[in-house]
Amino acid sequence: MKTRSPFLNSISEYMLLHQYSLRTVDTYLTWITAYIHFHKKRHPASMGDNEVEQYLEYLALKSNVAPRTQATALNALSFLYKHIIKNELSLNLNFARSKKQSKLPIVMTPDEVSQLMKHLNKRYYLIAGLMYGSGLRVMEAVQLRVQDIDFDFKCIRVWNGKGNKHRIVTLAVELIPMLRNQITQVDEYLQLDLKNELFSGVWMPHSLAKKYPSANKSLAWQYLFPSHKLSGDPETGEIRRHHFHHTCIRKAVKKAVQSAGLTKLITPHTFRHSFATHLLQNGADIRTVQTQLGHSDIKTTQIYTHVLQQGANGVVSPLSKLT
C-alpha cells in the first residue's frame, strides 16, 4: 500500500467515488505527484496555467517523452484543476509539444502467435486468445463479465474501453468451448462465495448497484476471469472477488516468450497489434478494423497499414530483382 499525503488521498477517494478505474487513479496520481515535486512541492492551488505549461514543456524538451505520454500528463493535470482545485486550466495553454516519433508497433507472425500460445500457462491461454482473436486490450480482457460474451451472435461486448467507449468485437468460434468451461468455473466460485457470510458480491458501477441491488451476486455480472482469492474492496473494504490483475498477464506472456525462444519485444498489447495487422493482411477493410479496435480516428488504425507497406508486402526490394 502506497503512503500518500492527505491531499493525494482525497483525490483518490474522489476518483473512486466517481467510478474511475484503479489504473486511471494510479496513473493520474503519479502525474500529479510528479508535477508537485517538479515545482518543489508547492500546492497545486497556488499554481495554474504557467506552472502547467512549464511542466509540460519540461516533459517534451528535457524528458523527451512521447506525445501520448505528454497528453496523459496534461489529462491528469486538467482533471486536477477542473475537479479538485475547481479552477479550470486555459483551453489555449502555450507549451512545446512533444515531437518524439511514435514507434511502429511490433507485430508477431501467425506462426509466432501459435508458438507463444503453446508455451503460455493454461491459466492465461484463454485470455491471450481473446486479446489476439478479438483485439482486446489487456484491461478490457481482464474486466470482461460473464454476460459480455454473446454466444448466439458470436461477439463480445466491451464496455467503457479506452476513452469510456463501448464497442462490439468479433468472437473466434474456436474459443467457445473454452469460454463455456470458463463460465462453469466462474459459477463454481460464485456458489462457494455465496456460502461466505462476508461476501458482498462482485463490484458493480454505482448507478447499476443501486438499480439492481441483487445483481452483484448473479452469475451474469461476475468477472469472466476471477481472482483465485477474495479481497477487500479498496473503496469500501467489503469482501469481493476481483478479476485477474493485468501484471499477472504481463508476467505470463514474458515467461512464454522466453520459453518459446522468441526474440521480439512482445507484451500483451502485441496480441492486439497482431490482430489488427493480420486482419488487414487477410483483406479486411480498414474501417472494419478501426471499428473492431475502437479507434476514434482512422489515422490511429492506419499505423498498421504502414507496417504492411514498409515490409515485403508493400515494397519489393531491388535485391530481389538480381539474377
Q: Which amino acid is at 308?
A: L
> Which of 212, 204, 203 minimizes the C-alpha distance to 241?
203
Which percentage of the chain shows pLDDT scores above 70?
A: 96
pLDDT digits (tens, 9 = 90+) for 39-96: 999 999 999 999 999 999 999 999 989 888 999 999 999 999 999 999 999 989 999 8
- Indicate the fold that domain 103-312 takes in CATH: hpI Integrase; Chain A (1.10.443)
CA pair distance 255, 116, nearest whole angstrom = 10
Which residues are designated catalytic?
Answer: 137, 162, 269, 272, 295, 304
In b/e form, how buried is each residue of 68-105, taking b as 16+ CB within 10 angstroms? ebbebbbebbebbbeebbeeebeeeeebeebeeeeeeb
Higher-scoring residue by pLDDT: 184, 21: 184
Location of C-alpha cell 504481463: 250
Average pLDDT (26-32) is 95
| pLDDT value, residue 6 | 93
Provide the pLDDT confidence category of residue 323 given band limits of 50, 70 and 90: low
Largest Cα–Cα separation, the chain:
78
Q: Classify each residue of 18-52 as buried b or exposed e, where b means 16 or more C-beta atoms within 10 Å of its C-beta.
A: eebeeebbebbbebbbebbeeeeeeebeebebebb
Q: Residue 102: what pLDDT? A: 67
Looking at residue 310, its pLDDT comes to 66
Q: Mind listing the pLDDT tens digit for each residue in 291-301?
A: 999 998 898 89
Query: What is the pLDDT, as a whole number, of residue 207?
Result: 75
Q: Do domains 6-84 and 103-312 have the same CATH topology?
A: no
Q: And the C-alpha cell for 195?
A: 456460502
| Measured distance between the N- and C-terminal CA atoms of the chain, rounded to whole angstroms | 65
Count CB neighbours of 148 within 10 A. Answer: 18
Give the pTM: 0.80
Q: Is residue 311 predicted with pLDDT exceeding 70?
A: no
Q: Please give the Cα distance from 154 to 172 (Å, whole number).
A: 7
Q: Is the pLDDT of residue 306 over 80?
A: no
| Residue 152 φ then ψ, to 5° | -65, -45
pLDDT in tens, 117-168: 999 999 999 999 999 999 999 999 999 999 999 999 999 999 987 777 899 9
- The model's pLDDT over 179-229, given as tens digits with 9 standing for 90+, comes to 999 999 999 999 999 999 999 999 988 778 888 889 999 999 999 999 999
**Domain formed by 6-84, architecture:** Orthogonal Bundle (1.10)
149: β partners:
156
pLDDT over 90 (residue 249): yes
Which residue ranges make up each domain of the chain?
A: 6-84, 103-312
Cα–Cα nearest to 168, from 70, 321, 310, 293? 293
